[in-house]
Amino acid sequence: MAQSGLNTGISKGIHQGVKSGLEMANIRSGLKGGVVSSIWDKSKMQNPLNLSGIKKPLIFCNADNLTTNTGTVITLTDLIGSGFTLTNAQGTSFTPDLVVKDIFASRDSLDFNTAASSLYPTPDVNFNGKSEVSIIMVCKLKAIANQVLYIEDSITPGGVDLSMTDTNRTLRSIYYGGQPGSITNSQYDSFLSQGESSDWMILTLKYRLKQPGGPGSEQEMYVNGRLQHKLNSSTFNIITTSMTSAQALIIGNTSIASGSRGNSMSLGSFLLLDYWMNESEQLRLENYFRWYYGNKF
């Protein structure tokens, strides 16, 4: 009895000590906020494959699933059956190269390693009438001032120019508003540490042709769930409230066949939605990518 009581007391004391220590260290706050803590915690995670109806992604692809890879032509698999995928079917040597087991959890990546490297949707994504876009990319930036994402162009509202402005991998997100012939834009920069900017990241982007929360609420950029919203400049206003069909999406460059800003990054996954993710949707989708890549972000 005495030995049993002693063991029980020690066990309870250890449990209480661990609990108190976690509380004092504020470790539980992140978990309670919803970040996945293990591969079995899927209650706060949204697999894009299970989204349907108006929430179904336009594009969901990753470097682990390729339909075509000839060395010069590469096409990623349409994982959700949306009819859209990513390719560089120009038949040139500019295709991003496949790097096997390059990311956490032994996942593959695509290396944008030449100035002309790019990927683009096939068939073309029609943005006509859309007013919101959300994007999640798993990527690793290179220390060079080159392109990450481009939605043409600066002539019509709803264009996006996401690039690195320097060798410190500072991301600048430029979003275009106004109206054709009188374009305005807002520009926000990231403020990443050297460690954050040089490693694999979950890059989340949200854009909308409206400002429900006032100036600045037309765009948001996150790295690993942390808002990157350092104002560089803004003349942004809302006149035209929807995009046009002429705006092409290009990943890793500003042109499909003749770009010069493609030596920019490695890419693991790409997700495109035609709506603004709310906080819960964003967290659950980011948690999916955390889980998929071994909870390293």
Tens digits of per-residue pLDDT, 196-238?
A: 899 999 999 999 999 999 999 999 999 999 999 999 999 999 9
Q: What is the pTM of this model?
A: 0.85
107-111 and 171-179 beta bridge pairing: unpaired
User: What b/e sequence results for 111-123 when a residue is b if at least 16 CB atoms lie within 10 Å of its CB, and e otherwise?
Assistant: bbbbebbbbbbbe
Mean pLDDT of 267-294: 97
Based on the fold, state whether residues 77 and 220 are members of the same structural domain.
Answer: yes
Tens digits of per-residue pLDDT, 30-61?
A: 433 455 554 446 669 999 999 999 999 999 99
According to the model, what pLDDT value does residue 26 have?
A: 41
Based on the fold, state whether residues 27 and 101 are members of the same structural domain.
Answer: no
Q: Residue 286 domain-assigned?
A: yes
Which of 198, 224, 215, 200 lies closest to 283, judged by CA? Answer: 224
According to the model, what pLDDT value does residue 15 have?
A: 46
CATH of the domain at 66: 2.60.120.200
The dihedral sign for the CA sequence 265, 84, 159, 186? negative
Based on the fold, state whether residues 28 and 61 are members of the same structural domain.
Answer: no
Which two tokens mark 243? Answer: 């995009």
Based on the fold, state whether residues 133 and 191 are members of the same structural domain.
Answer: yes
Q: Residue 52 domain-assigned?
A: yes
| 95, 73 Cβ separation under 8 angstroms | yes
Task: Report residue 156's pLDDT band, with 50, 70 and 90 as the boundaries.
Answer: confident
Examine the pLDDT at 90 and tell me if it is beyond 80: no
Q: Residue 39 domain-assigned?
A: no
Other CB atoms closer than 10 Å to residue 237's CB: what's the count?
16
Q: Which stretch of 90-99, 181-190, 245-254 has the lowest confidence by average pLDDT?
A: 90-99
| 261, 114 Cβ separation under 8 angstroms | no
Q: Which residues contact 114 (CB under 8 A, 6 or more apart)?
A: 93, 94, 262, 263
Task: Report residue 73's pLDDT band, with 50, 70 and 90 as the boundaries.
Answer: confident
Domain range for 185: 48-292
Based on the fold, state whether residues 9 and 84 are members of the same structural domain.
Answer: no
DSSP symbol at 110? E
97-103 and 226-227 beta bridge pairing: unpaired
Q: Residue 139 domain-assigned?
A: yes
Based on the fold, state whether residues 86 and 15 are members of the same structural domain.
Answer: no
Q: Residue 8 domain-assigned?
A: yes
Tens digits of per-residue pLDDT, 97-134?
A: 999 999 999 999 999 988 888 999 999 999 999 999 99
Which of 142, 168, 289, 156 lies closest to 222, judged by CA? Answer: 289
CA distance 159 to 247: 7
CA distance 162 to 252: 9
Based on the fold, state whether residues 19 and 151 are members of the same structural domain.
Answer: no
CA distance 192 to 203: 12
CA distance 130 to 210: 12
Based on the fold, state whether residues 66 and 172 are members of the same structural domain.
Answer: yes
| 130, 235 Cβ separation under 8 angstroms | no
Q: Residue 43 domain-assigned?
A: no
Based on the fold, state whether residues 230 and 281 are members of the same structural domain.
Answer: yes
| 58, 249 Cβ separation under 8 angstroms | no
Task: Report residue 137's pLDDT band, with 50, 70 and 90 as the boundaries.
Answer: very high
Based on the fold, state whether residues 127 and 11 are members of the same structural domain.
Answer: no
Based on the fold, state whether residues 11 and 103 are members of the same structural domain.
Answer: no
Examine the pLDDT at 17 and tell me if it is beyond 90: no
Give Cα 161 to chain centroid, integer Å: 14
Number of domains forming the structure of the chain: 2
Task: Report residue 176's pLDDT band, with 50, 70 and 90 as the boundaries.
Answer: very high
User: What b/e sequence results for 28-58 when a residue is b if at least 16 CB atoms lie within 10 Å of its CB, and e otherwise?
Assistant: eeeeeebbbeeeeeeebbbebeebeeeebbb
Which of 194, 176, 195 lies closest to 186, judged by CA? Answer: 176
| 287, 48 Cβ separation under 8 angstroms | no
What percentage of the chain has pLDDT greater than the value 90? 67
Based on the fold, state whether residues 9 and 76 are members of the same structural domain.
Answer: no
Q: Residue 256 domain-assigned?
A: yes
